[in-house]
């Protein structure tokens, strides 16, 4: 077994492992190359691969949380093909990641993994405590409940039609109180545009904004791997002053219809277990659980 620093040329192999382990996480190879090359400098990311017999069988990432308000929040991920577990490879990847995080000033590290006994046992053996729960869900967007009526004073437009400035202003407000253990800090506009707006999988014609009073009051952003006919809704939100009006249900209903028309046959999303309003919206739309993940935290 050999550990080495990952390069951009490794992304296709990494993407294959990621799809094997997490088939419900949608990201094309082009999207993963983009994220590999475009992370903010604040992240100080280290990426590793594990090879056995010249074959990449696992990968790991360790970095500072680039959208956290604090400068000492570390995140890492260790991912290994099932047939190569329990050989010490995961432990070696984890140790290398923790060493990097300490070197760049992280004081706490958070990692997500499957909510199962194997992951919980691995985490416990290395000093991690269980924390939050995340539900991943999927549906076929060709089979949806009836479209809710659009209230007077509400206009549905695509993310592309709304434009960079309006969507960024919306994100600055609507995303800051998402459930989580990390206090977020909004990325600068130029970084946000480079990382998200210009991402290969970002579908500006499938994401939908609800315009009310001249602003984006609610919206949903959509990424898609069009080669596999799968989409991912990474963020749906509503400005605090406009919540309780059914706008999130409205934008997701329209967005999913557009996704189906574009050839999407499987749409996925995720929600923190305590986010009851969005879980209710997604259940109404027809999303059903596909997996549950658990976060684990450790003081370094």
The total number of structural domains that make up the chain: 2
pLDDT averaged per 10 residues, the chain (length 300): 97 97 96 96 97 98 95 97 95 98 98 95 98 98 98 98 98 88 92 97 98 98 97 95 96 99 98 96 98 98
Cα 19 to its chain centre, rounded Å, is 14
Burial zone of 34 (CB within 10 Å; 0-12 exposed, 13-18 middle, 19+ buried): buried
pLDDT score for 179:
86
62 and 183 in a single domain? The answer is no
Q: What's the pLDDT at 177?
A: 82
In a domain? residue 278: yes
* Last-in-domain residue among 95, 119, 134: 134
The answer on 178 and 122 residing in a single domain is no
State whether 286 and 154 are in the same domain: yes
Q: Are residues 159 and 242 in the same domain?
A: yes
Spatial separation of the C-alpha atoms in residues 56 and 20, rounded to whole Å: 13
Are 158 and 288 within one domain?
yes
What is the model's pLDDT at position 137? 98
Residue at a domain's end among 101, 134, 167:
134
Q: Indicate if 278 and 189 belong to the same structural domain.
A: yes
Q: Kindly state whether residue 9 falls inside one of the protein's structural domains.
A: yes
pTM to 2 decimal places:
0.95
Whether 300 is in a domain gets the answer: no
Q: Are 230 and 267 in contact (CB under 8 A)?
A: yes
Domain span including residue 284: 138-292
Are 145 and 262 in a shared domain?
Answer: yes
Q: Does 84 map to a domain?
A: yes
- Domain end call among 114, 134, 154: 134
Residue 238 tokens, joined:
């509503």
CATH of the domain at 272: 3.40.630.30
Q: Verify that 177 and 201 share a domain, yes or no.
A: yes
298 is a domain residue: no
**Same domain assignment for residues 146 and 246:** yes
Tokens of 100: 């990097």
Whether 143 and 274 map to the same domain: the answer is yes
Beta bridge partners of 63: 75
Are residue 272 and residue 185 in the same domain, yes or no? yes
- Please indicate, yes or no, if residue 299 is contained in any of the structural domains: no
In a shared domain, residues 38 and 161: no
How confident is the model at residue 181, as a pLDDT? 86
């Amino acid at each position: 077994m050999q550990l080495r620093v990952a390069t951009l040329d490794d992304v296709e192999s990494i993407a294959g492992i990621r799809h094997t382990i997490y088939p419900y996480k949608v990201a094309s190879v082009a999207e993963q190359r983009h994220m590999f090359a475009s992370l903010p400098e604040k992240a100080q990311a280290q990426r590793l691969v594990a090879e056995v017999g010249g074959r990449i069988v696992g990968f790991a990432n360790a970095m500072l949380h680039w959208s956290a308000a604090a400068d000492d929040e570390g995140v890492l991920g260790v991912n290994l093909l099932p047939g190569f577990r329990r050989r010490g490879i995961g432990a070696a990847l984890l140790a290398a990641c923790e060493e990097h995080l300490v070197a760049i000033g992280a004081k706490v590290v958070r990692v997500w993994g499957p909510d199962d006994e194997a992951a919980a046992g691995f985490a416990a053996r290395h000093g991690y405590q269980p924390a939050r729960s995340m539900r991943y869900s999927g549906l076929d967007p060709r089979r949806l409940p009836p479209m809710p009526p659009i209230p007077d004073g509400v206009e549905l437009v695509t993310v592309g039609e709304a434009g960079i400035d309006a969507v960024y202003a919306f994100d600055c407000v609507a995303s800051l109180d998402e459930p989580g253990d990390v206090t977020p800090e909004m990325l600068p506009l130029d970084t946000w545009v480079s990382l998200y707006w210009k991402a290969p999988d970002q579908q500006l014609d499938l994401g939908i904004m609800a315009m009310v009073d001249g602003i984006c009051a609610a919206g949903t952003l959509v990424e898609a791997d069009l080669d596999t006919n799968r989409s991912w809704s990474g963020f749906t939100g509503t400005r605090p002053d406009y919540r309780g009006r059914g706008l999130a249900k409205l934008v997701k209903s329209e967005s999913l219809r557009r996704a189906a028309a574009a050839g999407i046959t499987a749409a996925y999303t995720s929600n923190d277990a305590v986010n009851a309003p969005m879980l209710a919206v997604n259940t109404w739309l027809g999303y059903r659980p596909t997996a549950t993940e658990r976060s684990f935290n450790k003081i370094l």
